[in-house]
């Protein structure tokens, strides 16, 4: 791996832009801004590129979106030359892809690794950002782009006694680079979201005994992962532009075959045939079987019960099967995609513990206490997820105009214009921030759309001699109200999930992503530009006088 800390240009001096994070968003942002002739520094907490696909190295980690479409599309050369090997590639393959992108586009020299950003402060006098890293280094730049990821701030439960546990404790999103050997050990996994679902079958194969602590049973669709068929790959590559366009035109930016408008408009037999065919095909496309899962409880229940029956058919112990069978609405929490997930519970070395009502009381040196029972274990795996969407931003002390604190302003939930920018924080952009479709879509097209929008905006500003951009408070409030209003139309906003922040103690319950779909959102961003950046204020280089609602003649 190349680490360019020593040879990055202009260390300690001003940059045109600082990008925080070298995941898929930060890497592409760097590439585009450099293409505008800007001097850019990327600050990254980890020691390599890849973001999510650098940090999440837990056993069994792999993407659950088909990767021929979960990949960059900005470069047809890249698209054509990179050879994916599996339908759902492993973390290792995705990380190799990220490194290849950094090599191919010469990104390494402008990325500073092991540099977690702790503070970012706007100066009205100097019209720039000072960005500070944990080691006390500070850099200044006119623009600051937060490419900090939606699912990057780790959520670690505050169990009494955790620090006194005599064995090792791991979090799935901070897995040791050298891996972990669980052979001969009694292992606990706490959490049954996507990370738990992927790691549990792999850990069960290695550990002497695995005890899974489940607070909420999840819907898990089989992945049916497989090696990619070279003929199919060639066909996709030959038709990439059209297929990508089709995916971008879909609600989630994914290339899912779309089913019928309503699960209730067809007979039970027809519906179950549709579900069965999607179950056999595997993956997230199950969600697209019918369009009314999030608006009709009756429709939702048909899919829920189909999956519960699958679980009852797979898991031999009926009590365990009922415990695994999810009780909440289908798609309320993020749907999981797994390999041998439910089958794993038929193993003799796997125990399932329900912690939905009798919770984990404390961690003892020898194990985990739930009520009166102590489960002796040698290692604990926390698959407990993330402080999603706002966590990574709020963990940085971000100060805007008049020293306004983002943490304070977002105390009751995030407020941003288009999920791209925030009033009182001039020249600060977010990639896939709260209020944008982000986590409800295929992340890579959403990232590319934001990066392209920001790049075009900065190019427009430069062409017109502008150097300061900030959303107007009323435009921001109107967007936040719209995001909330359409969230309320969906049952997704009614149940506990990280989309609402309900997985983190004390976090306000606000449905954070924009649920109106990728095409509607993209259209809105385009309309804002067409209307001369409606809702943004700009200032010129010379006098920083403000121009309301656009600057085009
Ligand atoms: P998650 O979905 O938030 O799941 C965390 C799990 O930990 C949940 O089962 C949660 O229970 C449980 N939990 C949290 N705190 C707990 C506590 N104090 N005691 C007991 N249980 C507790 O997190 P994740 O599995 O890391 O996944 C997060 C998201 O990352 C996914 O939804 C997905 O978007 C993304 N992801 C994607 C992939 C992929 O592409 N393959 C893989 C991993 C993650 P409750 O449900 O009751 O809160």
Return d(Cα 46, Cα 48) in angstroms, integer: 6
Report CA Rg, the chain: 24
Return d(Cα 507, Cα 386) in angstroms, integer: 12
Torsion over CA: 294, 297, 302, 305 (sign): positive
Sheet strands side by side (includes 367-370): 360-364, 367-370, 373-376
Q: Regarding beta strands 128-133 and 138-146, do their DSSP bridges make them parallel or antiparallel, or are they unpaired?
A: antiparallel
- Which of 72, 60, 89 is closest to 28 using CA atoms? 72
Return d(Cα 487, Cα 517) in angstroms, integer: 11
Closest Cα to atom 37 of ligand 1? 194
Q: Measured in angstroms, how far is the CA atom of residue 499 from the centroid of ligand 1?
A: 11
Return d(Cα 312, Cα 536) in angstroms, integer: 54
Beta bridge partners of 187: 210, 379
Q: Measured in angstroms, how far is the CA atom of residue 27 from the centroid of ligand 1?
A: 26
Mutate to test the pocket of ligand 1, among 57, 66, 193 (most ligand atoms within 8 A of CB): 193
Pocket of ligand 1, beta carbon within 6 A: 62-64, 151, 157, 172, 190-196, 198, 213, 215-216, 334, 355, 360, 383-386, 439, 498, 503
Task: Look up residue 37 and give its two tokens.
Answer: 């002739």
**Cβ 312 vs Cβ 318: under 8 Å:** yes
For residue 380, give the H/E element and its range.
strand 379-382
Q: Measured in angstroms, how far is the CA atom of residue 309 from the centroid of ligand 1?
A: 23
HSE of 143 in the Cβ direction (CA atoms, 13 Å)? 28
Return d(Cα 361, Cα 157) in angstroms, integer: 11
Residue 48, number of CB atoms within 10 A of its CB: 22
Closest Cα to atom 2 of ligand 1? 193
DSSP-derived 3-state class of residue 351? strand
Tens-binned pLDDT, residue by residue, of the chain (553 aa): 333 333 333 333 489 999 999 999 999 999 999 999 999 999 999 999 999 999 999 999 999 998 889 999 999 999 999 999 999 999 999 999 999 999 999 999 999 999 999 999 999 999 999 999 999 999 999 999 999 999 999 999 999 999 999 999 999 999 999 999 999 999 999 999 999 999 999 999 999 999 999 999 999 999 999 999 999 999 999 999 999 999 999 999 987 888 999 999 999 999 999 999 999 999 999 999 999 999 999 999 999 999 999 999 999 999 999 999 999 999 999 999 999 999 999 999 999 999 999 999 999 999 999 999 999 999 999 999 999 999 999 999 999 999 999 999 999 999 999 999 999 999 999 999 999 999 999 999 999 999 999 999 999 999 999 999 999 999 999 999 999 999 999 999 998 999 999 999 999 999 999 999 999 999 999 999 999 999 999 998 644 443 433 333 2
Say which residue the tokens 């791991």 belong to: 170
Contacts 24+ apart (CB under 8 A), 446-449: 446/253, 446/518, 447/24, 447/25, 447/28, 448/28, 448/72, 448/73, 448/74, 449/518, 449/522, 449/525
Helices (H), ranges, 398-472: 406-409, 443-463
Task: Look up residue 439 and give its two tokens.
Answer: 């986590």
Angle between helices 240-248 and 443-463 in degrees, nearest 10: 90
- Which of 172, 144, 163, 154 is closest to 57 using CA atoms? 172
Residue 28, number of CB atoms within 10 A of its CB: 26
Mutate to test the pocket of ligand 1, among 71, 444, 503, 505 (most ligand atoms within 8 A of CB): 503
For residue 111, give the H/E element and its range.
strand 111-112
Distances (CA, A) of 378 to 190, 237, 347: 14, 47, 19
Q: Measured in angstroms, how far is the CA atom of residue 541 from the centroid of ligand 1?
A: 46
């Amino acid at each position: 791996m190349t680490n360019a800390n020593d040879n990055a240009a202009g260390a300690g001096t001003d940059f045109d832009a600082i990008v925080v994070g070298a995941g898929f968003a930060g890497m592409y942002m760097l590439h585009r801004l450099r293409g505008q002739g800007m001097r850019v520094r990327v600050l990254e907490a980890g020691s390599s590129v890849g973001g999510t696909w650098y940090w999440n190295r837990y056993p069994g980690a792999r993407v659950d979106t088909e990767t021929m479409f979960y990949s960059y599309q900005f470069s047809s050369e890249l698209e054509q030359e990179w050879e994916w090997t599996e339908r759902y590639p492993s973390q290792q393959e995705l990380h190799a892809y990220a490194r290849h992108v950094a090599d191919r586009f010469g990104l390494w020299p402008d990325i500073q690794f092991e540099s977690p950003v702790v503070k970012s402060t706007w100066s009205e006098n100097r019209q720039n950002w000072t960005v500070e890293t944990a080691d006390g280094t500070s850099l200044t730049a006119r623009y600051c782009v937060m490419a900090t990821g939606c699912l990057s701030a780790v959520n670690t439960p505050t169990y009494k006694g955790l620090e006194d546990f005599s064995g090792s404790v791991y979090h799935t999103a901070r897995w040791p680079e050298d891996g972990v050997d669980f052979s001969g050990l009694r292992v606990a996994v706490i959490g049954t979201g996507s990370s738990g679902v992927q790691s549990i079958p792999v850990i069960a194969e290695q550990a002497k005994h695995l005890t899974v602590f489940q607070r909420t049973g999840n819907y898990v669709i089989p992945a049916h992962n497989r090696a990619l068929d070279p003929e199919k790959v060639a066909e996709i590559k030959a038709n990439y532009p059209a297929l990508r366009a089709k995916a971008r035109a879909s609600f989630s930016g994914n290339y899912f075959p779309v089913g019928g408008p309503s699960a209730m408009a067809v007979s039970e037999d027809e519906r179950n045939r549709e579900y069965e065919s999607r179950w056999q095909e595997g993956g997230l496309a199950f969600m697209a079987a019918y369009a009314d899962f999030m608006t009709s409880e009756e429709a939702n229940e048909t899919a829920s019960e189909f999956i519960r029956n699958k679980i009852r058919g797979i898991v031999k112990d009926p009590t365990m099967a009922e415990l695994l069978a999810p009780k909440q609405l289908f798609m309320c929490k993020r749907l999981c995609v797994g390999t041998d997930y439910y089958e794993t519970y038929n193993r003799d070395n796997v125990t399932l513990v329900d912690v939905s009502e009798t919770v984990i009381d404390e961690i003892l040196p020898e194990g985990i206490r739930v009520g009166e029972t102590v489960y002796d274990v040698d290692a604990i795996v926390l698959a407990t997820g993330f402080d999603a969407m706002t966590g990574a931003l709020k963990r940085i002390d971000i100060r805007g105009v008049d020293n306004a604190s983002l943490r304070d302003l977002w105390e009751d939930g995030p407020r941003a214009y288009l999920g791209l920018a925030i009033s009182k924080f001039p020249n600060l952009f977010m990639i896939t921030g709260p209020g944008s479709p982000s986590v409800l879509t295929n992340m890579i097209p959403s990232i590319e759309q934001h990066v392209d929008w920001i790049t075009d905006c900065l190019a427009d500003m430069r062409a017109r001699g502008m150097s300061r951009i900030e959303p107007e408070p009323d435009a921001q409030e109107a967007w936040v109200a719209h995001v909330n209003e359409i969230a309320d139309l969906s049952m997704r906003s009614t149940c506990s999930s990280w989309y609402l922040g309900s997985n983190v103690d004390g976090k306000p319950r606000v449905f954070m992503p924009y649920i109106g779909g990728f095409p509607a959102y993209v259209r809105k961003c385009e309309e804002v530009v067409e209307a001369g950046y409606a809702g943004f204020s700009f200032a010129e280089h010379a006098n920083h006088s403000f121009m309301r609602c656009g600057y085009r003649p």
